[in-house]
Every structure is written in C-alpha cells, then in structure tokens.
Chain A
Amino acid sequence: MIAAEQSAYSYLSAYQDLAPSLPGVDQPWLQQLRAEGLAAFAERGFPNIREEEWRYTNLSALNKTVFAPVAEQGIDAAWLQSYRLEDAYSVVLVNGRYVAGLSALSGLNDGVSVRSLAEVLAQNPAALAGKLGQAVASSEHNLVAFNTAWFADGVVIEVAAKQQLDKPLQILHVVTEANALVVSRNLFLVNDQAEAEIIETYVGSADSYFTVSVNECLLGRNAGLTFYKAQLEAAKAQHFGGTYVKQAPDSRFAHHNFALGSLLARSDIHSDLDKASACTLNGLFVASGRQHLDNHTRINHLQPYAISREFYKGVLDKKARGVFQGRVVVAEGAQHTDSEMNNRNLLLSADAEVDTKPQLEIYNDDVKCSHGVTVGQLEEKSVFYLQSRGVDAETARNILTFAFANEMADKVENAELKGLLLQELLARFPAMNL
C-alpha cells in the first residue's frame, strides 16, 4: 500500500497549487463540497479491492503513474470529425475543458441552454447551488470524492419545463495528451415535461491517460432523458465515468452503455426512482487482450409503481475480464415495483473471465422482480449450421459473436450513432464481412 500512499500524497501536494485556480473558489457551498471530497481522498486514496463495491476491480495500476491536468492543446480536426455525429448538436471537452470553438450549438432551440460549468460558476454560481452534488455525494466512493475536489470544468445542460432538444446533443470527451488527468463534472437538468437525448463519446488521441467523469442528472416530473455512452477511450487509458440520476414522479430515463475502449474502465449508472417513473439500463461491454471493464449499476425503487428494465451483455476474449454488478433496491414503501434484470455473457477464450453479481434487496412484499444471468460459449450447432452454408469456422464464430453483441446496438434508435458503434464493433471482429 506504500505505492497507494505515495500516489495519494502526490495528488494532494499538487492540489495545493491547483485549488486556487479551480472554478467557484468564492462559493462557500462549493468549497464545502470540495473539502468533503478532498478529505475523503486524503484519508483513503483511490478505492481498493477491500471495498465491497470494488472487489472485482483493482485500481492499483493507477498508483504507478501520477496523472496531471494539462492545458488545452492542438487537436487533429479530421480525427475528431470522425467521431462527430452530423445530425446532432455537439459540445467538445478537450482534456476536460469545455472548448466553445469546437462545439456546434447554433440553432439550439429556445428553452435549452448548454454552457461550460466553469463559466456558469463564474457568472451565475447561485444557479448551481443545491443542484451540483444532489444526485451523488463524495461518500459514494473515492472517485466521486476525487472528482468533486478536482473538477475544473464540464458542461451544464438545462432543458426548461415543457421544452425539448430538437436534435440529440453529443458530448465529445477528447483527450490529447499522454498522462493527462481529465476530470469533468457535468450537470443535466431536464425539467418537468421536458425531453432530451444526450450522447457521450469518450475518445483519446493520446495513449495513456486517466478520465474521471461524473454526470449528475436531475429529471423533473414526467420528463424524459435518453442517454447514450460510447466509451471508446484509447487502448491504455484508465476510465471512470459515473452517471447518477434522480428521477421525479412519472419521469423516464433510458441509458445505453457501450464500453469498448480503455485498458481499465469502470462505469457507474445509478438511478433513484420516484413514484411511477421508468428506468431502462442497457449495456454492452466488449473486451479483449488484458482489458478490464467493470459496469456497476444501481436502481433504487424508492416509491410505488416504478418500472425498471436492465439488460447487459458482455463479450470477453483473450485474457480480458468483465464485471457486471447490478443492484436493485426496493424500499419499504415502494409497492407495485416492477423490475427485471438480465445479464448475458459470452466467453471466447479459456483465459477470459466475467464476474457477474446481480443483487436484489427487497423490503416489501408487493413487488414483481426478476433477474437472470448466463455465462456461456458460442453454440457449436450454430457454428456448424453456418459452416454447412459455406462459411468457414473462424468467420462463423465472428458472425455469431457479432450477432450476440449486435443485439444491444440494435436497441440504439439513433441511426448515426448505431453506425458509429457498428463500425467500432466490426473493428473488433475483423473477420466479419458485412
């Protein structure tokens, strides 16, 4: 643990210089939040495998490099363009900083505001008091604590009551520098009866870096938010991305999590469900080599009549490891809860591994909850069927693997995004020939 202590110490000493430059220094409420995050991190450093929620994901590799914030650097425009969706608004965060010049927001309809978090904290900080930190606290775990102390920027998106984004909004998280520490905090306020579709895309042109991104989503009554995450980080990147949601009565939240990139990645998707709200969590993790992809979901049914549907699939090849932790909590007062959870995993090699842990905690009798988990290999009879049609065995396996994964991509209604995801999936199954 010496390495961990040294590592934490390095971050803490660097923080002394960093702190005065962080946005919102003059806001006592924010300073309070940051102080809590800093204190938690100073006490325990990054999460470790002795913590129940982190038992399958060892972050000790983080202690080998000290990642540091970097200034905005030049960016390869053509490369960035290859990830940008055409029929969408876009916001670009380069190394964690909002870059207005690269963003495309013209034509944004009335009732929708998209701004840099640092800018809002400088110009109208009161607008965020009581909102930032409402969906998640530093006590969640120490990457949230770290994010809360360290964040320098991010994006704040607000859709006024009864308004809707007329096009999807893509947030491109881009990292350009090696060993960069990229900390962003993003706030999504979808007010009563408002609607929005958000697509986050994580990419890096540098090889090794550390992303710590936290999203907070506050959904008003009968509001709807569809959220896609395309985690396409660079091959040696370490990624933490948490999305924490509070759903008012009758609201609808759908999250589609595609974890394909990075060496080590952890996603948290947590939602608190008020009365008669609906939550859908879909996910696909595809890992090869020595990748480690951890997906941690939590659905809290706090009030009656809420519905949750969760479906995650994992494909693990070579020495990759996948983790699915799905927790559903049904509170004492949450009668008529209707919840389904499913996790299916495909292991393509003898050395690949998946740890899957569905957890149901139910504190009342009047509920309908189900969960199912499978871990398996490709079916030989399917491979033979394709061979009997002239397809060689290796291609047959690729086709079947792709088909398994494609079920999740098929749930993406945005055609452009689906195209981007298929392209990324195909790059991982090169023998496919569509």
Chain B
Amino acid sequence: MLSIKNLHVTINDKPILKGLTLDINPGEVHAIMGPNGAGKSTLSHVLSGKPGYTVTEGSVTYDGKDLLEMDPEVRAREGVFLAFQYPVEIPGVSNIYLLKAALNAMRKHKGLPEVDAMDFLTIVKSKVKLLQMDEKFLYRAVNEGFSGGEKKRNEILQAAVLEPKLCILDETDSGLDIDALRIVSDGVNSLRAAERSFLMITHYQRLLDYIKPDVVHVLADGKIVKSGGPELALELEEKGYSWLEGQAA
C-alpha cells in the first residue's frame, strides 16, 4: 500500500533523507527507530505533505498513486493520517468542529453525503470513550491548554474518527507517562485492522512493548540501515544505535 523508493529529501538544500526505501503492506505495523537527527520526523512530514521539504530523487507510491503529487488535504482524504509529534493548538476552533469538518471533507471526497448530526455524535462519543477522554474535550478548542498526554490522545481520537488507511504516528509516545502511554496504545491497537497500516516513528523501544510491530527499521543518517522483527527493537534497547550508525555511510 505504501512504497517508498530511494527517497532523497532536502531542507534548504541540506540533505536529510538520502535514499530511503521502505515498503508497507496492508495491515502491517512498521516501526522506525533511530537516533535524533536521523530524519525520522522529516519522513513523516514528507509523507503528509508539509511545506518546506524538497524531494530531489526517488518516489512514494500510495495505493498505486503518486503520493508526492497530492496536496496535503488530498493525502488526508485518501486515507493518510499523521499523528503529530507536536499537535498544534487552534484557539477558537472546537475539537468537535474540526472532527466534523474533517470527516465531511473525507466523505465528500468519496462522493458520500455529509454525516448525519446524530450519527456523528454517536460515533464521536464512542471513540471518546475508547480513549478514556472526558466528553467535555469535544467542546474545548483544539489542543488549547491540553497537557502533553491529552494532546497525544486527541490525535488518536482524530484517527479513530477518520479511520485512515495509513496511520503515521510521529513520536506519539514522547512526553507520555506510563498510564497515558497505555491508553494511547490501547487506542492504537483498537484501530488495527487488516486493511489499515501503521508507520510508527519512535526514539524509544518502550512504545513497542504496547504496540507490537511486524517490522522494525533503523533509520540512521537518512537511510534505513537495518530491518528486522520485533526482536531488533530489544537489541537496540540493549546496544543503542551507535553500532549501526557506521553502516549508513
């Protein structure tokens, strides 16, 4: 469903990704680990279409289409969801408004009518429960004044409502205490489905105790330097990244 081939990306002419290749099949959970500065967040930004990045070489094919040709909102409507490392606060826009605007944008893209108001509320409330959030959150401004854990939970809530095909989790575990991590992970696990793939970007192995990946990749200096099963994460936990970084060169 996602095929990244020899991806080279620069920011202000500075190379960040230097030939990254990665294939994700439907239903698979892939984890990308790596040291700071390896290009992990750049990968998530490029996939979601954030401005400011230049692709100098390579390709990204999503569901048989050229992902890089799509505007960010089209990628979202096609089912690509990015859970932000640093979710943005939007004063004056309530969570429920954003959820509805987003859901209707997806439905319109698929040629479906706008969601019925009652149905929408039922869906959203069930997801709120799933993430053990207070319904009051729905009526608060998006992420405004939320704690770190609340913001991350809110990202997963959006994913739960929008039901993406590819869910990119960018450092979703950073800044979470163990309870919040458990809730967020339960939320993510409940979203796992045969047709839904996950790309988890994380610095720590801890997240993978809760969300079991099918494949673990190590990203160092802009490339995947090693891939393996879940046991690779444990090895990384033990040895750190330095033994692999040499292999990037």
Contact = CB atoms under 8 A, between A and B. Distances in A.
A403 B92 contact: yes
Nearest to A395: B101
A402 B92 contact: yes
Nearest to A396: B73
A385 B76 CA distance: 11
Interface in B80-94: 81-82, 84, 87-88, 90-93
Contacts of B50: 384, 388
B158 A382 contact: no
B92 A389 contact: no
Contacts of A388: 48-50, 72-73, 75-76, 81-82, 84
Contact of A390 (B51, B76, B141): B76
Given A380-B51, A433-B101, A387 B91 contact: no
Interface of B: 48-51, 71-73, 75-77, 81-82, 84, 87-88, 90-93, 97-98, 101-102, 104-106, 109, 141, 158, 162
B226 to A, nearest CB: 30
A389 B88 CA distance: 12
A11 to B, nearest CB: 44
Interface in A379-402: 379-382, 384-393, 395-396, 399-400, 402
The SS class assigned to the A binding surface is helix
A404 interface: yes
A345 to B, nearest CB: 15
Interface residues of A, number: 26
B63 to A, nearest CB: 16
B80 to A, nearest CB: 9
Contact of A384 (B51, B101, B102, B109): B51
B49 A390 contact: no
Interface in A409-434: 410, 433-434
Contacts of B75: 388
A380 B88 CA distance: 11
Contacts of A404: 91-92
29 contacts: A384-B72, A384-B88, A385-B88, A385-B90, A386-B90, A387-B49, A387-B71, A387-B72, A387-B73, A387-B76, A388-B75, A388-B81, A389-B76, A389-B158, A389-B162, A390-B102, A390-B105, A390-B106, A390-B162, A391-B73, A391-B105, A392-B71, A392-B73, A392-B105, A393-B71, A400-B93, A403-B141, A407-B91, A433-B104
Contacts of A386: 90, 98, 101
A406 interface: yes
Contacts of B91: 403-404, 407
Nearest to A392: B73
Contacts of A392: 71, 73, 105
A255 B97 CA distance: 29
Nearest to A406: B92
Contacts of A410: 92
A366 B98 CA distance: 46
A198 to B, nearest CB: 27
Interface of A: 379-382, 384-393, 395-396, 399-400, 402-404, 406-407, 410, 433-434
Contacts of B93: 399-400, 403
A397 to B, nearest CB: 12
Contacts of B88: 379, 381-382, 384-385
A395 B97 CA distance: 13
B78 to A, nearest CB: 9
Given A385-B84, A395-B101, 5 more contacts: A388-B84, A391-B105, A400-B93, A403-B90, A403-B91
Nearest to B141: A403
A332 to B, nearest CB: 39
Contacts of B51: 380, 384
A50 B98 CA distance: 48
Nearest to A401: B92
Residue among A382, A389, A393, A404 with the highest chain B CB neighbour number at 10 A: A389
A410 B97 CA distance: 15
Contacts of A385: 84, 87-88, 90
Given A380-B51, A384-B51, A385-B84, A390 B73 contact: yes
Contact of B101 (A381, A393, A399, A407): A399
B91 to A, nearest CB: 6
A173 B225 CA distance: 73
B96 to A, nearest CB: 11
B109 A389 contact: no
Given A387-B73, A390-B102, A434-B97, A382 B92 contact: no
A391 B101 contact: yes
Q: Which of B92, B104, B158 has the most CB of A within 10 A?
A: B92
B65 to A, nearest CB: 16
Contact of A400 (B90, B104, B109, B162): B90
A273 B249 CA distance: 73
Nearest to A409: B92
A389 B90 contact: no
Contacts of A389: 76, 98, 101-102, 105, 158, 162
Given A387-B73, A390-B73, A391-B73, A382 B102 contact: no
A386 B50 CA distance: 11
Contacts of B77: 390
